Chain A
Amino acid sequence: MSAAPQATALAEQPGPKVTELGMLSIGLVAAGVIYLAAYLPRRAPLAPAVVLLAAAVAVLAANVVLLARRPGFAWWRFTQVARWMLLAYLVVAGMLEFTFVYDHTRGAVLALMTLLLATFTLNVPLLAAYTVARFEGSRE
């Protein structure tokens, strides 16, 4: 089988819903951040945000595990795209973290915001790299 039909076949084969799970994880992160920001400058009760963070991390972890079990996946392309995307989104995350610290966010709220940001920052390269790699055939 040549590379192009092989790539199409791989992309069409039933597999984990990586994009959908990634969207869910980003949505949970967004809900956590909106919840905390909606209370500013007062401190929000942290339990709902912790639950949202835990759910977002769990979905991200499940996504990674499901993807790792996908047969014939072009990991070489995945890592190539993921590392550059991660670099780009570390800059964005660094800026956001700077804003949190600069605005005197401290303690548990800062820790929660940082973890939510980290979950977001890992989801973005995962989604982009998966979309590119799923359409790759075997290594050229």
Chain B
Amino acid sequence: MAVVEQEAPAGALGAPAARRPQVTIVPLRGLPIVGLVVVALVVSIAGNWPWALDFFHVAGGGAWTAVDLFMGFVIGPIMRTLSVPARIELTTRLMPKMLLIMPTLVTMTLAAGFQLARHNGMLSGSYGRHAWVVASMVVVAVMAMTALALLQPANIAVLFELRKPQPNPAIVQKLMRRFIYAAGVTGAMQVATLIIMTRLAT
């Protein structure tokens, strides 16, 4: 991909803290919505309701895939070409929301999907496409490793750095680069997920 990465000019983040947007790590207003989704998910699993499980798996999985592809292949390359102050503006608004949205979508998709697979007999070794189910677990494992070890920590660390009175441009650059590349990897893995899931559904 021919994208020129802009280097941070010295002191690019040196603007007084008052002129930079206020950085929130976790948007507390979103927590009740997350709580509501988790409770609804637990109730659906406990009730073993096929429609609710289908809804959580399909809606959560669709949104997770779309967000990963969009972040990896659209926002990521755009972000690399933005000026550093513009990146900071985008990051301070986008990342806190991602911190709530992504774990919620992942939990919805995986918990409902596992229950659905048990319910439909897809987890059973005798299921004709059992190998595809196992392949989907492997893809999820690779995505989990990338997201939990690289993407999420970089997301949180960049927000902590931006809360400092004098954020260090080199650290912000390094963390954002890591975030963008990790988002690209998970985006690529989502293509594999799409292939597997459409194969299972056909």
Contacts and interface: CB of A to CB of B under 8 A. Distances in A.
Given A37-B137, A103-B118, A135 B161 contact: yes
A128 B111 CA distance: 23
Contacts of A38: 125, 130, 134, 137
Interface string B30-49: 00000000100110011000
A132 B156 contact: yes
Interface residues of B, number: 38
Contacts of A19: 149-150, 153
Interface stretch (B1-9, B65-73, B86-94, B140-148): B140-148
A11 B175 CA distance: 12
B148 A95 contact: no
Nearest to A85: B156
B12 to A, nearest CB: 13
B193 interface: no
Interface in A101-140: 102-103, 123-124, 127-128, 130-132, 135-136
B192 interface: no
Contacts, number: 104
Contact of A26 (B46, B138, B144): B144
Given A95-B38, A123-B148, A127-B153, A40 B118 contact: yes
B171 A135 contact: yes
Contacts of B154: 131
Given A34-B134, A38-B134, A99 B111 contact: yes
Given A98-B45, A127-B153, A41 B123 contact: yes
A26 B123 CA distance: 22
A77 B144 CA distance: 24
B190 interface: no
B134 A102 contact: no
B115 interface: yes
A39 B125 CA distance: 6
23 contacts: A3-B164, A4-B171, A19-B150, A26-B148, A30-B141, A34-B141, A37-B137, A39-B125, A40-B118, A40-B123, A41-B123, A42-B125, A81-B156, A81-B160, A88-B103, A91-B38, A95-B38, A99-B45, A99-B115, A127-B149, A128-B153, A128-B156, A135-B160
Interface pairs A-B: 6 shortest CB-CB: A131-B153, A30-B141, A23-B149, A4-B168, A128-B153, A132-B157
Interface of B: 38, 41-42, 45-46, 103, 107, 111, 114-115, 118, 123-125, 130, 134, 137-138, 141, 144-145, 148-150, 152-154, 156-157, 160-161, 164, 166-168, 170-171, 175
